[in-house]
Structure 1
Amino acid sequence: MRNERARRLPSKVLAMAAIAAGGLAFGSGEASATEGAASLYLLGSGGPGTAVMPPVEGIYVDNVIYVYDGNAKASREFPVNGKIVAGLDATIVADFPTLLAVPSTNFLGGTLAVGATVPFGAPILDVDAILTRPGGPSLSGSRHDSALTTGDPVGLLMLGWHGKKLHTQFSTMVNVPIGNYREGQLANLSLHRWAVDTSVALSWHDTDSGWDITGKAGYTFNGRNDDTGYNSGDEIHFEGSIEKTLSPSFSLGVQSYYAKQISDDNGLIGPFRGETFAVGGTAAYTTPMAGVPATFRGRVMRELDVTNRLKGTSFWLDFSVPFTMNLPKQ
């Protein structure tokens, strides 16, 4: 019995590790009412299996290709890097590579993980008009700006516990404002401010029935952009998903998110609190690669109701795979 269980363990461990790594996707880039239309927490990332932690020590790799396309009418004004713009149209094509290390599966009775990501990509912005420039004259006319650039590095700390079916995870992200900030330009991936997000996630993950029900809630503390003097307000976010495994390699589900800014901005145009609600779908496919299961996950999220935000659609392709694992001895 013990030998048979040991023979089955590696494949089960690898599958759960791939699921856990697939739940990691974070960084800047999502449209928000904060300065530059950007938030630290990437809305939509808290999908199926988010709270399922890797069951063994090791290093895990996750990569998210993210595309967001959104716009706001000319009647709406947005603060962007020290300017007030109207008629904003934004397309963001970004990549979020994440390296996650699991040094212990018995820290305070749970699994400890630390990681980091450095986003890079191409933000593309078009505006109908630039209304003001601080310390300078009023401007008018449309403008286009794009760049291939990097964002701020983001550090990650997670601690999770698991039962037979119920998994719990606490996580913290810290945005370090040392990325490539294009001062005075419209197109940026860098937030250029300190920001911290704390979140808790619960996943009811039933491998026998194939159902996964996940919920996640978090609070984002935003700091001040010293170059523009803009102080972005704090935000809360909630996410939920339901997914069904249809075969050993394929699963399909739905998910949604809600976010609201709960404190005022202190900058060019006053309080400027934002709010949004979105729904979408997700699907995952797991296949062996070089002896380990690699998981591909796709998502499409559509924002349905927004206030002081861009309204748009995001597309995701997430690839996750274990890099090294300290498997139990056979």
Structure 2
Amino acid sequence: MKSNRGIRTRCTAAAVFGVALCAPALATEGGGSIYPNGVENFLVGAMPPPGFYPLVYATSYHATELRDDRGNDIAAAIGGFKADVAGVIPRFIWVTDQKVLGGQLAVHAIVPLLNVDVRVGSNKNRNTGIGDINLAAALGYHVSPELHYVVALETNAPTGRYDRNDVASIGRNYWNIEPLIAISYIQSKGLNADLKLMYDYNFRNKDTDYKSGQELHADYALGWGMGNGWALGVSGYIYRQISDDKVGGVAVAGGNRGRAFAIGPSLRYQNDKGWMITAKYERQYEVRNRSSGGAFWIKTLIPL
């Protein structure tokens, strides 16, 4: 087993949607990601008709474990670890009347409001504020009444407050671009299946000269429509870091690549007026080079 002596610790909150993913300097800088893995749920690939749609996400994440590259919990070796993050995350979507490449054009903005409370050994802090803002353009396609998909390009801007010496920084202090495709198969009574596949390219943190590796990950949901607006099932995510972290242009020893898998119960309710709510709990498993815990998520869509 590798020695844990000399492990450097720096934790940050993943600033979009408000999930904290904190760890030693393993697996992307601070052990977190800009995208909050597992945030999405049923209907992720079904773009609504033209109009303006405010969504609100709410989350609560709790973790007391830190996993190294062998999956061992090293929290005790560094004097203890705890991360609690609560977030209320408004998302504003405008689906236009414009068609581009046969798809319905939409744009969105996400402005996360976060409360981050982190302790690593004797080092602890709590911060509240606006995290890194997400902007995106998307095209929505409707193959049939059941099958829908969206292609999009998202950009995450380093707008959240950041301090390289703060274990509870709200922002990550680097730009990120994320192309994605989301697919939904929907039956009011029968199978419901959703997949959002994403690729993250992370730019350099100018304050630390650290460049986090590229990431491939997917949110998923699988359930059964009950025929009365309800769908019940499971959801979660799969995460893999696919390139090494670098400092000063040189790969970090061992690559510091992270991975994780999460699953938990999920439900959705949608009425015939377009109002929707989803709720779920997800527990992380098979974690490497990251914190390990669980998160509650609620998402509401309110048509105007």
Mark yes or no: TM-score above 0.5.
Answer: yes
**Aligned residue in 1 for 2:11:** none
Kept in 1, the 8 Å contact 2:127–2:170? The answer is: no
Name the amino acid aligned to 1:248.
Answer: N
Q: Gaps (5+ residues) in structure 2?
A: 1-15, 70-77
Structure 1 position 240 matched with structure 2 position 201: no
Structure 1 position 189 matched with structure 2 position 170: yes
Structure 1's 318 and 74: CA in aligned 2 closer, same or farther, altered over 3 A?
closer
Residue 276 of structure 1: which of 260, 264, 273 is its match?
A: 260
Displacement, 1:201? 1.8
Query: Which stretch of the first structure deviates more once superposed, 109-118 or 85-94?
Result: 85-94
**Aligned residue in 2 for 1:94:** 87
Displacement, 1:87? 4.2
Query: Which stretch of the first structure deviates more once superposed, 119-128 or 97-106?
Result: 97-106
Name the amino acid aligned to 2:56.
Answer: N
**Aligned residue in 2 for 1:131:** none
Kept in 1, the 8 Å contact 2:18–2:89? The answer is: no
Name the amino acid aligned to 2:116.
Answer: P
The 1-side partners of 2:109 and 2:95 are apart by 12
The 2-side partners of 1:163 and 1:272 are apart by 41
TM-score, normalised via structure 2 length: 0.82
Displacement, 1:89? 2.1
Structure 1 residue runs of 4 or more that deviate by more than 4 Å after TM superposition: 73-76
Displacement, 1:34? 1.7
**Aligned residue in 2 for 1:314:** 295
Kept in 2, the 8 Å contact 1:94–1:119? The answer is: yes
Structure 1 position 220 matched with structure 2 position 200: yes
Structure 1's 274 and 75: CA in aligned 2 closer, same or farther, altered over 3 A?
closer
Bigger share in helix: 1
**Aligned residue in 1 for 2:230:** 250
**Aligned residue in 1 for 2:150:** 169
**Aligned residue in 2 for 1:134:** none
Q: Output one character per residue of 1:266-308: Cα deviation in whole Å (capped at 9) or x when no partner.
A: 24964211010111121122358xxx54222111111111110
What are the residue-to-residue correspondences of 1:105-254 with 2, within 5 Å? 106-128=99-121, 142-164=122-144, 165-207=146-188, 209-254=189-234
The 1-side partners of 2:219 and 2:212 are apart by 22
Structure 1 position 45 matched with structure 2 position 15: no
The 2-side partners of 1:148 and 1:235 are apart by 27
Structure 1 position 57 matched with structure 2 position 50: yes
Name the amino acid aligned to 2:118.
Answer: L
Kept in 2, the 8 Å contact 1:30–1:37? The answer is: no
Kept in 1, the 8 Å contact 2:85–2:114? The answer is: yes
Name the amino acid aligned to 1:160.
Answer: G
Displacement, 1:29? 2.9
The 1-side partners of 2:62 and 2:294 are apart by 6
Kept in 1, the 8 Å contact 2:281–2:297? The answer is: yes
What are the residue-to-residue correspondences of 1:266-305 with 2, within 5 Å? 266-267=246-247, 270=253, 271-286=255-270, 292-305=273-286
The 1-side partners of 2:194 and 2:231 are apart by 14
The 2-side partners of 1:45 and 1:281 are apart by 13
Structure whose CA Rg is larger? 1
The 2-side partners of 1:274 and 1:89 are apart by 19
Q: Secondary structure at the match of 2:30?
A: helix
Aligned CA RMSD, in angstroms, stands at: 2.3
TM-score, normalised via structure 1 length: 0.76
Kept in 2, the 8 Å contact 1:75–1:87? The answer is: no
Displacement, 1:166? 1.6
Q: Secondary structure at the match of 1:180?
A: coil
The 2-side partners of 1:213 and 1:158 are apart by 20
Residue 29 of structure 1: which of 19, 23, 30 is its match?
A: 19
Structure 1's 171 and 28: CA in aligned 2 closer, same or farther, altered over 3 A?
farther
Kept in 1, the 8 Å contact 2:141–2:150? The answer is: yes
Aligned residues: 272
Q: Percent identity?
A: 29
Kept in 2, the 8 Å contact 1:253–1:281? The answer is: yes
Displacement, 1:30? 4.9
Q: Gaps (5+ residues) in structure 1?
A: 1-25, 77-84, 129-141, 324-330
Displacement, 1:204? 1.6
